[in-house]
Structure 1
Amino acid sequence: MTPHSGKNSLRILIAGAGIGGLTTALSLHAAGLDNVVLIEACPRLRAVGAGLNLQPAAVRELTELGLGEELAAQAVATARLEYHHRHGGLIWAEPRGRRAGYRWPQYSVHRARLQRILLREVTRRLGPDALITGRRLTGYEQHRAGGRRSVRAYVAGDPAPYTCDLLIGADGINSVVRAVMYPREGPPIWNGICMWRGLSHAPPFLDGRTMVIVGCNSRVKAVVYPVSPPDESGRCTLNWVVETRSAAGRSTVPPADWDCAVGPGNVLPHLAGWRIPFLDLHATIAAAPRVLRYPMIDRDPLPAWVAGRAVLLGDAAHPLYPTGSNGASQAIVDARVLAHQLAHHDVDEALTRYDRLRRPETARLLTAHRRLEPDPLLHQVEMLAPDGFSDIRDVLPDHKLADIRACTRKVTGVDAAGLNARSSWSVPGRTVSACAWSTPSG
């Protein structure tokens, strides 16, 4: 690594080039910290994954990083969230994004498209040598020499460690950085729910900008939303997820294989008897070229995200159930807060402030996600009206329906007024420069 004067002499290594790691690199660069390198275990970053949602809090941060226009061109601005009974009846609806009063939209987007945007900008702004692929972090140790604190990061296949002033663990739910910090933690925790998900080229439904959550019994639920506008054929890309709860509970944990493909025939029997007038869910699932199956897992909150000069971010710090469509969004917010603190404080103070700001907030979100809010209220509908209904107010009173809004706010974590009023985390007066690292050294 080549040292530089001032803040730019801070040598930063990011483990993981997912949404969190790439956004962290861009955020550090925007904050005047260019001496940054990412290492990624995959030899070649592929266009993988399915759809994800970006809450307005995350869209604000990406917009302030200069990515707003391209993001708008690649995503669907989600305008509405609706809960439906498995026989089609509308239980609850609420506006999302700008229609809910936010200054920024909520977006639904294919994960691969978002990753391509971030990857291209990392290469353009930090240089082609900022990302090193095919390099898997195996461990690290704290180091002190000549009064300077640092980290030695060990990478498979490299004979000498990378020496950095700060190691950022953005390496996912099976984080190596986290495992070194908490060696006795054990594997992720499964809640007994399996998720089946896919992408289908299918007709849009409703207004083409609505996310629907269907089915309110305790065993099966489906989530469907578009991640692209209609093409010349009038069809769009629909992201769908079907959640099924195992009758065996948590006794047999399926492998957390994010690339476990199955056929649509494994999913469709769970939806027998469902009928949704505005969406042919069975045909949508049958049209998916690939269906992935994996368990709904997370980890318990940690007492600290910082150990010496190593810090956790994103799923490495706070893996969340997808209940609030908030995992990628919180990683993006983490990245911006960490970069902002590093730009304004010395490293140790910055890490302390980052931990103090972000850890309690994500712990609250994790608790709400584990309750699967507002699923318990929706289960009441199934018990009271298993065969459906004409008007939900014949099933639940208005005050119970209003509780659903409170539940959705708990899992998204930010209200419009608070986000709109908050000052920016951007660092003014930033000038762009390029900095390069040397080859790994001790």
Structure 2
Amino acid sequence: MTQPHILIAGGGIGGLALALSLHQLGVRCTVYEQVRALKPLGVGINIQPNAVRELFDLGLTPAQLDKIGVPAREWALVGQKGQEIYAEPRGTDAGYRWPQYAAHRGQLHMLLYQTLVDRAGPEAVQLGAKISGYSILPEGGVTATINHTDGSHSIVEGTLLIGADGIHSAVRAQMHPHQPPIHWGGALMWRGTSRAKPVRTGSSFVGLGDHRQRMVIYPISAPDADGFATINWIAEVTLDETEARKSGWYKPAQLSDFAHHFDGWTYDWLDVPALLRGASEIYENPMIDRDPV
């Protein structure tokens, strides 16, 4: 019997985690990713206890996760006037067997990539190679068309093709050509990180504001000797449905694009305008999604 070979379209967090799982099972796989070089893109991400359990089962360690983030201890909902509405413990403080991690998305991505390359070899991830389409073979299996960044094309054959190529998936578009368009969720989000002192427990996930404009704030690094950590923040504003819909991912943005929505958000425990001004980079992305297939 021929050794199975799984083709994976997309080298994001999903595609790399899948490849690590297949390698652990002894199933050969190759990830095809369109960018020429993977970089630690993005800002903060919360890894819930059930996902941390899977990372541990894949052989990642708490020490590795501690290098890219911090265990989250609390979720707190706070009103626009700074008053606490609700709070609860998170992760092991809430009784889970596994922690919840607040981490840097790009560093998590690179950790998964490096772990896969170390275990399966550099040939397991083909960069500069986008799967643009596929054909089902009559005798079983599949061929995939690869578009390379040098302009060339190639065909690879595999046992199975899995599309992990994101919201603009070419695999999904071919499989479901009449799928509805991307949903515009009615909100724009601006994301960034700033160096500041953590609030509340020192590792709290804080939601601040109301349904029209709100902030999410949490640390993604341990404090330094002066008590400062890398604080991830998301500034979100609900827009009228008549405003232009967006369909992109991360796009560089300026503080002047949105900071005025949060003027006056200054409390004895947090200065939001100062936090925003401290950002080294800011990205805009819309709240978008697709229907399940």
| Short-chain TM bin | over 0.9
Aligned sequence identity (%): 40
8 Å contact kept, 1:190–1:250: no
Equivalent-residue separation in structure 2 for 1:43 and 1:103 (angstroms): 39
Where does structure 1 differ by over 3 angstroms across 4 or more consecutive aligned residues? 157-160
Q: 1:166 corresponds to which residue?
A: 160
Give the counterpart of 1:181 among 175, 178, 185: 175
Is the Cα contact below 8 Å between 1:258 and 1:292 reproduced in 2?
Answer: no
227-236 or 126-135, larger mean C-alpha shift:
227-236
Per-residue Cα deviation, 1:26-81 (whole angstroms, up to 9, x for no partner): 00111121x11101001110111110000000000001111023113322100100
1:48 is matched with which residue? Answer: 41
Deviation at 1:186, TM superposition (A): 4.3
Matched, 1:262 2:253: yes
- Alpha-carbon distance in structure 2 between the residues aligned to 1:250 and 1:180: 31
Q: For 1:8-407, what aligned pairs fall within 5 Å after superposition?
A: 9-33=3-27, 35-69=28-62, 70-145=64-139, 149-157=140-148, 158-216=152-210, 218-247=211-240, 249=241, 251-254=243-246, 256-302=247-293
CA distance, structure 1, for counterparts of residue 79 and residue 268 of structure 2: 11
Instruction: List alignment gaps of at least 5 residues for structure 2.
Output: none
RMSD over equivalenced CA pairs, Å: 1.4
Q: CA deviation at 1:141?
A: 1.3
Deviations 1:111-136 (A, max 9, x none): 11111211111001111111110011
Which deviations, in whole Å up to 9, do the C-alpha atoms of 1:389-425 show, x marking residues without a partner?
xxxxxxxxxxxxxxxxxxxxxxxxxxxxxxxxxxxxx
Larger radius of gyration: 1
**Distance (whole Å) between structure 1 residues aligned to residue 110 and residue 186 of structure 2:** 33
TM-score (normalised: structure 1): 0.63
- Worse-matched range after superposition: 277-286 or 85-94: 277-286
From the two aligned structures, give the one with the greater helix fraction: 1
- Secondary structure (helix, strand or coil) at the match of 1:23 reads helix
Q: How many residues align?
A: 289
Taking structure 2 as the reference length, the TM-score comes to 0.95
Structure 1 segments unaligned to the other structure (5+ residues): 303-442
**Highest relative contact order (Cα 8 Å, sep 6+), 1 or 2?**
1
Residue 440 (structure 1) aligns with: none
The Cα shift of 1:232 comes to 3.1
Cα contact 1:191–1:250 (8 A) shared by 2: no
